[in-house]
Amino acid sequence: MKLWDKGFSIDQQIEKFTVGNDREIDMHIAKYDVQASLAHAIMLESIGIISADELKDLKKGLAELASDLENGTFIIEESFEDVHSKIEWELTKKLGEVGKKIHTARSRNDQVLVALQLYYKENLAIVNDKVKGLFDTLLNLAETHKESLLPGYTHLQVAMPSSFGLWFSAYAELLIDDVYVLNAVSRVVDQNPLGSAAGYGSSFPIDRDLTTKELEFATMKYNVVAAQLSRGKSERSIASALGGLCNTISRFAMDVCLYMSQNFNFISFPDELTTGSSIMPHKKNPDVFELIRGKCNKIQALHTEMVMITNNLPTGYHRDFQLLKENIIAAFEDVKDILDICTYSIQQVIVKDIDLNDEKYQYLFTVDSINNLVVDGMSFREAYQKIGGQVQAGTYKPDLGKQHSHVGSIHNLSLDKIAEKYPKQ
């Protein structure tokens, strides 16, 4: 069955190419199509297109479909083009003629749009919750290990003293920036496009305020052409936000891989969280964090894909938009998995004691030594040259006792301020 069926069969090779794997992808948005269909039916009854009894029947039929989806018994057979045709067919099979009325005053275009907007809205909220879980974990680790010093690096060269508290809380605070963007994108998708039909509205006296309220959108996309043009814009915005989040997580994962290596030897994990080699029995590989890094980098490329699919398309619907669904939905599912496994794994990190008297760290405190001289009255440039001369002559002796007291430094992490800064839900 096809919603656009006009009584003739389409070439099978053309059908296979145009449908693609939409049936599988549409399982992710099926429940949202049911929700939107219910809101649409309530609206149709309110303007007299269907009767109260017909609405009652449609409510019952849609509730049964929602139950099938919840129980995992709902499937989209190959005879259907997509989830929208499947749902309408099921309603018609169960309810008769009233099932055929559900499509009144809407198009498959705004059906897809509203189902996707609902999926995006809910999954952005889920991602946000999972980011909060990782944020809390990192702040807790920062508190636990705030006294554990860690060499800081620039250019991958030993630079200045840092700490595990500083490292963990750095990534926690970076997640706040990612949440700002996620929240902004949530506002972008929290607009009801239902009623835009094929992109130019309807001659029926539909009540778009009613469906906006029923579906709990914050507002609607008032202009019906703007609603249609939001297809692609929403996906580009989401891809950018998820990519920014993944950039933060990917960099953290790279640090974990680096710090686990024997040359750094700053952290470890329980054996059961690592993998081995088929020929080297000593190996404890950070495969989880390598895959996190790889998956995150893949998602960062998604924005370019969304731009290239939609760039410079003229006003109106184009079948190109179908290609947006698969990878944006896959990205959501991957990001949720990444956040879960990252939080689960890093909770079990083993922080090692680092001997900062080790010869390779002998110049870690040169800046502190310069600052000591400045505090005693020497100019910074003269102090720099004096300590630099000691380094060149091999006579430099570090002072390991210098305290860093300003806000956000090793000995004043301001974890309470970072926690307070996290956006309220």
pLDDT in tens, 100-127: 999 999 998 999 999 999 999 999 999 9
| Element holding 268 (H helix, E strand) | strand 267-268
Average pLDDT of the segment spanning 350-355: 94
Tell me if 422 sits within 8 A of 135, measured CB to CB.
yes
d(C-alpha 343, C-alpha 349), whole Å: 10
Residue 284 has pLDDT above 60, yes or no: yes
Residue 102 buriedness (CB in 10 A; 0-12 / 13-18 / 19+): buried
Residue with tokens 């897809």: 112
For the chain, give the mean pLDDT: 91
Taking 50 as the threshold, does the pLDDT of residue 8 lie above it?
Answer: no
Residue with tokens 């879960």: 340
Mind listing the pLDDT tens digit for each residue in 390-400?
999 999 999 88
Q: What is the mean pLDDT of residues 192-218?
A: 96
CA angle 141, 143, 149 (to 5 degrees): 85
CA dist 164 and 146 (Å) reads: 6
Q: What mean pLDDT do residues 151-170 have?
A: 95
Are 36 and 84 contacting, i.e. CB atoms less than 8 angstroms apart?
no
Mean pLDDT confidence for 253-263: 95
Rounded to two decimals, the pTM is 0.91
Q: Evaluate if residue 31 carries a pLDDT over 50.
A: yes
- The reported pLDDT for the residue numbered 16 is 58
Nearest of 60, 63, 86, 88 to residue 75 by alpha carbon: 86
> pLDDT by residue (tens digit) across 138-147?
999 999 999 9
pLDDT of 372 > 90? The answer is yes
Residue 367's pLDDT is what?
Answer: 94
pLDDT value at 19 more than 80: no
pLDDT of 20 above 70:
no
Q: Which region among 90-94, 333-337, 356-360 has the lowest average model confidence (pLDDT)?
A: 356-360
pLDDT of residue 3: 47
**Within the chain, what is the greatest distance between any pair of CA atoms?**
94
In three-state secondary structure terms, 161 is strand
Q: Chain centroid to CA 422: how far?
A: 17
Please state, in angstroms and rounded to a whole number, the distance separating the CA atoms of residues 365 and 22: 59
Cα distances from 388 to residues 34, 157, 209, 280, 384, in angstroms, run 71, 16, 71, 44, 6
pLDDT for 425 equals 66
Number of CB atoms found within 10 A of residue 407's CB: 8
